[in-house]
Amino acid sequence: MIVCDFAVLRPEQGVAALLPDGSQVAVFLTADGAVHALDNIDPFSGAAVLSRGIVGDRGGVPVVVSPVYKQAFELATGKCLDEPSVSVAVHSVRVRDGVVELT
Amino acid sequence: MAGTTPGTLVVIGNGMVGHRLVEVLRDSSWRIVVFGEENRPAYDRVALSSYVDSWDSADLELPALSGCELRLGEKAVSVDRERRVVVGASGVEVSYDVLVLATGSVPFVPPVPGRDLPGCHVYRTIDDLDDIRATVEAATRPGRKSGMVLGGGLLGLEAANALRGMGVSPHVVELAPRLMPIQVDEGGAGLLKRLVEKLDLTVHTGTSASSIERDGERLIAKLASGLELDLDVVVFSAGIRPRTDLDLGLELGPRGGYLVDAACRTSDPRVFAIGECAAVEGVAYGLVAPGYAMAEVVADQISGGTRVFPGADVSTKLKLLGVDVASFGDAHAVTEGALEVVVNNAVAGTYSKLVVSDDARTLLGGVLVGDASAYPSLRPLVGKEVPAALLQPGGAVDVEMPADAQVCSCHAVTKQTITDAIQSGVACDVAELKACTKAGTGCGSCVPMLKKLLTECGVEQSKALCEHFTHSRAELFEIVRATRITTFSALIEKHGTGRGCDICKPAVASILASLGNGHILGESQAPLQDTNDRFLANLQRNGTYSVVPRIPGGEITPEKLIVIGEVARDFGLYTKITGGQRIDLFGATVDQLPQIWRRLVDAGFESGHAYGKALRTVKSCVGTTWCRYGVQDSVGLAIELELRYRGLRSPHKLKSAVSGCARECAEARSKDFGIIATENGWNLYVGGNGGFTPRHADLLVSDVDTETLVRVIDRFLMFYIRTADRLQRTSAWLEGLDGGLDHLREVVVDDKLGICDELEAAMASHVTDYADEWRGVLEDPEKLARFTSFVNAPGTPDPTIEFRAERGQRVPVSLGIPEVVR
C-alpha cells in the first residue's frame, strides 16, 4: 500500500497514515536514511500519537518517544525500552521509485 | 520522676525557641499550652530587620503548629509551683505537669538621661519596629532624616539597617573601640566600619551617649566625646538581658537567667528554662542556635531521654548591611599561645584571620569580613587538625571535614547525620536534606556545604543533560551563546554524541529560542520540539489538543470574548476558564488547529504559549481603576509585562501576577515573579510556586518605580534563563542557588558580576524580535502543511477520537488501552 512520497518525510520525524481497515501506522525517517513503520497507537495511553513523538537514540538504538507518557519504543522492533513486556507492532516498509510503501 | 508520663506541658513564651519546642513535640502525646505575650503568631526575630522591606508581619511568621493551645496576647503573670498552676493576665489558670520557661530576653537600655523621651525606642519586636516607623513618619523636618542607634554590635547594626530601610541616615554609637566587639577583632572591625560607612552610616566608636534632650521637633544627643547629634529617632540596641520578671522563686544565674542544669532543668524538677532566659550551668546565651539546642534537650528529657545541653557553638555568619561577617571558635585568640594568620586585603575589601594552636596544628577559630564564603568549610574544622594549605596566603579551604563536625549550627546537624541521610537514599538533593535533617533551614549558610556533601557522596545527579551531552543545561546555553551555533546537529556533532533524544532536543530547542533563532518550527528546529511546541497547542489524553489565546493581564473586550465563544461553538470545543485568567479550548484535532487560529488571529488574538516552556500569563487584580483599595494600576502593569515577556522561552514555564495592593488578590507571591503594589511603587517577589511544592516568592526589591521594576525583572529572567537546569522552575533554582536570595540580589540589583548590561541587552532583543508564532505558521505554507492528521488522507478525522456529552459540552470518550500491562 502506498503511504506517501518519500520527499514528504523529514529526517528524525514521523508521519501518520490511515490504513483501509481504519488502523493507523506511524512512519519515520531517521537521520541515516532508514524508514521504519510502527503502529501509531501508543499502548500506554491508547492515543494515536506515536508519529508525533521525538525521534532520537537511546544508547545508540534508534527510538521514538511517546509524546504522552514518554516511553521509548525501538524503531526497528517496536519494543518498549522502558517496559520490556510492552511492544507495538512493526510494519514492513520500503521505498521504491521515490514512494514509501507498506508491504 | 516528672515528665516521663505525658500530661500537660505549659510553655511560657511564644518566641522562636518556645515555637521550636512545640514543633519537636507536636507528634507526642503531651497536651501543650503556650502563653504568648505578643498578640501575634511566633515569628522569626532573627530576620526582624527584613520586616522593613514589606511591613507585612506574615513574611516573618514561623509555620503555624497544630495540636497546641496557643494563648496569644495572654501574658503569664504568676506561677504557683505548689499547685502547679500558671495564671494568665486575664485570670485564666492552667495546670501543668511540666512547665517550660521560654520568656526570652529584654533589651538592655543604658541609663542615659532622656532615654524615656518620645522618639526613643528599643529594637526587639515587630511592635517596636512599628513604633519606630511611626516616629520616623511623624518627623516632618525637611531634609534627610537622622537617627541614632546606641550599640554597635550585631543587633545595633541590624537596627541601623532597619533605619536605613525607612529612609533614615543612622549614627551608630558603640562604647567599645570597634564595631561588633564580641564577634570581630580589631582588624576585621576596621574593614567592617569602612564598608558600612559607604552605606550612609556614621560610626562613632569608643564613646557613648551622655544625654538625650528634646528640642522642639528634634532630639539632641550629646556624646561623651563632646559631639552633638541632631536626630529624629533614637534606637537602643545595646544588648539584651535574660527576662526573669516572672518570679517563680527560682535561683538565677550569676548574670541573670533562670539557673538550670545541663538538662535545662531548674531546681524544681517540673520546671525547665530554655533560650535566652535560661542560664545553663550559669551561662546565658543570646543566640537562637543554642536556644534551639535547649528546646531539643527538654523535648528529649520529658520524653524520658537523657540528652543534655552539648554546649553552644557561638559561631556566627551573617550579612550585615550587605557585608559578610563571620566569626567562629576562639575568634579573639584568647587560648594560651594561640597564633594568628591574618590576610587583610584593603583593596578587595576582605579580611580573614585564622587562629591556630601554638604548634600551628589545630584550628581554634577565626574571623572573616567582606567575604565569608570559606566559613562553611572552616567552622566545622574548629578543634581539628588544620590543613597546612590553609595557612598559606590564599590557601585553599577545600578540606576534608571530620564526620562529627557540625555542618548546620542552627539545628546542630553533623556531617555524619547528613551523609547518613544521603547514603541511605532518604535524601537525594538539598531540598530533601532540608526536609529530613533540618540542616540548612535556619540561616541557610550551610547550603553550599550540603551541596558539596551530596557531590562527595556521589549521589548528586551528574549535571550531564542526558546521555548525549555531558554538559549541564547552563553550560550548553553558554556554548550556544558563545559559539553562535544555530542548529542542534552542529551542536551535537561538536559537543555531544549520538543523535539526541527527547531530553536534549527540546532543551536545545529552548536554548536556541531563548537566544532568538527565528520561528520555533523552522526546518531545523521543528524536529526538536516536543509535541506541544511542535503543534503550538497542548496535547490532551485522547490525542487532541487544547488552544489558549493570549489574554494579557486577563483583560478582554466583550467582542473578543464573543469571538472565542463563536470559535469554540463552531469547532465543538470544550471551554474552560484557566487559573491564569484566560480561556482554554479543548478537543481540537491537528487539522483543526490552523483553522481555529486563522479565526483567532483575524480577531486580533496571539498565541498564549500555554504549550511552551515560556511566559504563560501575568494575572492581575483590577487595581486602582475599579477597586476601592487599590494603590496602583495593576492591570496596566500586568499587560505591559505580559506583552514585554510574551514568547520568552525559558528552562521551564514562567508565571507572573500583579496585585494592586497588599491584599494580594492576584496571588502574586505564588508566581515565578510577582509584583505587589505599595503606596510608593512596586515590590517585586521572585521564586514563588504553587503546584506540587508550593513556595512563597521572596522579596527582591521594594518600593521601586515601574522603570526600575522592569529593569530588575529583565535581569532576573535572563539570569534564570542562562543558569537554570532543564525544567527547573525559578523556585527550585533559587533554592539551589549558591548564596540564595542575597546572591541573586547582588547579581541582578547590585550588578556584582558586571553582566547586567548583557542581560538587559538580551531582553531588549527578545522584545524587539518577538513575533506571534501562530501568525508565523499561518503565513508559511511549509509549516501549515505539517498540521495534517494523515499523510495519505489529509482532513480525515482520526477514528480513535470520539466524544460524548457532559454538562452540555463535548468531552473525550475514554480510550481503550490495548493489551498493556502496567
Q: B 444-503 residues with CB below 8 A of A?
A: 467-468, 498-502
In whole angstroms, what is the distance from residue B662 CA to residue B561 CA?
A: 30
- Measured between alpha carbons, how far is residue B38 from residues B34, B71, B78, B609 in Å? 12, 10, 17, 48
- Dihedrals phi, psi of B593, to nearest 5 degrees: -55, -50
In whole angstroms, what is the distance from residue B213 CA to residue B220 CA?
A: 5
Q: In chain B, which residues have their Cβ closer than 8 Å to the Cβ of A12?
A: 499, 527
Say whether B504 counts as a known binding-site residue. no
Mutate to test the interface with A, among B468, B497, B501 (most CBs of A within 10 A): B501
pLDDT digits (tens, 9 = 90+) for B142-164: 788 999 999 999 889 989 999 99
Taking residue B628's Cβ as centre, other Cβ atoms within 10 Å add up to: 6
Please give the pLDDT value at position B631. 94
- The side-by-side arrangement of strands in the sheet containing A61-65 is A54-58, A61-65, A72-74
Which fold, A2-102?
Rieske Iron-sulfur Protein (2.102.10)
Instruction: Identify the closest residue of chain B to A14 by CA–CA distance.
Output: B527
Q: In the structure, what pLDDT confidence band is assigned to residue B391 with cuts at 50, 70 and 90?
A: low
* CB within 8 Å: A12 and B816: no
Instruction: Identify the closest residue of chain B to A19 by CA–CA distance.
Output: B792
Q: Give residue ranges of A with CB < 8 Å to any B CB.
A: 2-4, 8, 10-13, 15-18, 22, 24, 27, 30-31, 41, 43-49, 52-60, 62-63, 65, 67-68, 70, 72, 83, 85-86
Lowest mean pLDDT among B64-68, B407-411, B608-612: B407-411
**What SS3 class is residue B768?**
helix
Say whether B621 counts as a known binding-site residue. yes
Residue B200, pLDDT above cutoff 60? yes
Residue B820, pLDDT above cutoff 50? no
Residue B753, pLDDT above cutoff 70? yes
- The domains of chain B, with CATH numbers, are 8-106+242-302 (3.50.50.60), 120-238 (3.50.50.60), 615-769 (3.30.413.10)
Q: In chain A, which residues have their Cβ closer than 8 Å to the Cβ of B499?
A: 12, 30-31, 56-57, 62
| Bigger pLDDT: A54 vs B338 | A54
Q: What is the mean pLDDT of chain A?
A: 94
Provide the Cα torsion B372, B378, B380, B384; round to 10°: -160
DSSP conformational letter for B234: E
Q: What is the mean pLDDT of chain B?
A: 90
- Is residue B238 within 8 Å of B109, Cβ to Cβ? yes
Please give the pLDDT value at position B445. 64
In whole angstroms, what is the distance from residue B86 CA to residue B76 CA?
A: 7
Residue A14, pLDDT above cutoff 60? yes
- Is residue B284 within 8 Å of B253, Cβ to Cβ? yes
Ranges assigned E (strand) in A1-103: 2-5, 13-18, 24-29, 35-39, 54-58, 61-65, 72-74, 90-91, 93-96, 99-102
Please give the pLDDT value at position B821. 42
Please give the pLDDT value at position B3. 46
Looking at CA atoms only, how far is residue A98 from chain B in angstroms?
A: 15
Buried-exposed string B679-716: b where 16+ CB fall within 10 A, e elsewhere: eebbbbbbbbbeeeeebebbbbbbebebeebbbbbbbb
- Dihedrals phi, psi of B573, to nearest 5 degrees: -90, 135
* CB within 8 Å: B800 and A13: no
Q: Where does residue B538 fall: left (phi above 0), alpha (psi -120 to 50 degrees), or beta otherwise? A: beta
Q: Where does residue B251 fall: left (phi above 0), alpha (psi -120 to 50 degrees), or beta otherwise? A: beta
- Measured between alpha carbons, how far is residue B8 from residues B96, B104, B263 in Å? 5, 22, 19
**What SS3 class is residue B415?**
helix
CA gyration radius, chain B = 31
- Is residue B133 within 8 Å of B261, Cβ to Cβ? no
In whole angstroms, what is the distance from residue B243 CA to residue B245 CA?
A: 6
pLDDT digits (tens, 9 = 90+) for B201-257: 999 999 999 999 998 888 999 999 889 999 999 999 988 999 999 999 999 999 899
Sign of the CA dihedral running A71, A76, A78, A84: negative
- Is residue B132 within 8 Å of B163, Cβ to Cβ? yes
Average pLDDT over residues B485-513: 95
Q: In chain A, which residues have their Cβ closer than 8 Å to the Cβ of B821?
A: 83, 85-86
* CB within 8 Å: A16 and B817: no
- Is residue B402 within 8 Å of B416, Cβ to Cβ? no
Q: Chains A and B: how many Cβ contacts under 8 Å?
A: 113
In whole angstroms, what is the distance from residue B215 CA to residue B229 CA?
A: 12
Residue B322, pLDDT above cutoff 80? no
Give the one of A3, A12, A15 whose C-beta lies nearest to B527's C-beta. Answer: A12
In whole angstroms, what is the distance from residue B672 CA to residue B637 CA?
A: 16
Average pLDDT over residues B750-773: 95
Taking residue B441's Cβ as centre, other Cβ atoms within 10 Å add up to: 16
B820/A contact by beta carbon, under 8 A: yes
In whole angstroms, what is the distance from residue B681 CA to residue B675 CA?
A: 10
Q: In chain B, which residues have their Cβ closer than 8 Å to the Cβ of A2?
A: 792
Give the one of B788, B789, B818 whose C-beta lies nearest to A41's C-beta. Answer: B818
Say whether B661 counts as a known binding-site residue. yes
Q: In chain B, which residues have their Cβ closer than 8 Å to the Cβ of A8?
A: 791
Q: In chain A, which residues have their Cβ closer than 8 Å to the Cβ of B541?
A: 45, 47, 68
Give the one of B502, B541, B819 whose C-beta lies nearest to A65's C-beta. Answer: B502
Percent of the residues in chain B that have a pLDDT greater than 90, as a whole number? 66
Q: In chain A, which residues have their Cβ closer than 8 Å to the Cβ of B801?
A: 48
pLDDT digits (tens, 9 = 90+) for A77-97: 999 998 889 999 999 999 999
Please give the pLDDT value at position B276. 95
Q: In the structure, what pLDDT confidence band is assigned to residue B288 with cuts at 50, 70 and 90?
A: confident
Please give the pLDDT value at position B822. 43
Q: In chain A, which residues have their Cβ closer than 8 Å to the Cβ of B526?
A: 10, 13
Enumerate residues 6+ apart whose C-beta is below 8 A from B481.
Answer: B515, B722
Q: Give the closest residue to B298 by CA, choosing from B693, B593, B609, B9.
A: B9
Instruction: Identify the closest residue of chain A to B786 by CA–CA distance.
Output: A15
Please give the pLDDT value at position B717. 98
Helix (H) or strand (E) holding B491: helix B488-495
**ipTM over the 0.85 cut-off:** yes
Domain ranges of chain A: 2-102
* CB within 8 Å: B467 and A27: no
Please give the pLDDT value at position B2. 46
pLDDT digits (tens, 9 = 90+) for B178-195: 999 988 999 899 999 998
- How far does CA B586 lie from the centroid of its chain? 37
Average pLDDT over residues B123-128: 93
Percent of the residues in chain B that have a pLDDT greater than 70, as a whole number? 96
Mutate to test the interface with B, among A18, A30, A69, A100 (most CBs of B within 10 A): A18
Percent of the residues in chain A that have a pLDDT greater than 90, as a whole number? 92
Please give the pLDDT value at position B1. 45
* CB within 8 Å: A41 and B800: yes
In whole angstroms, what is the distance from residue A2 CA to residue A5 CA?
A: 8
Taking residue B466's Cβ as centre, other Cβ atoms within 10 Å add up to: 18
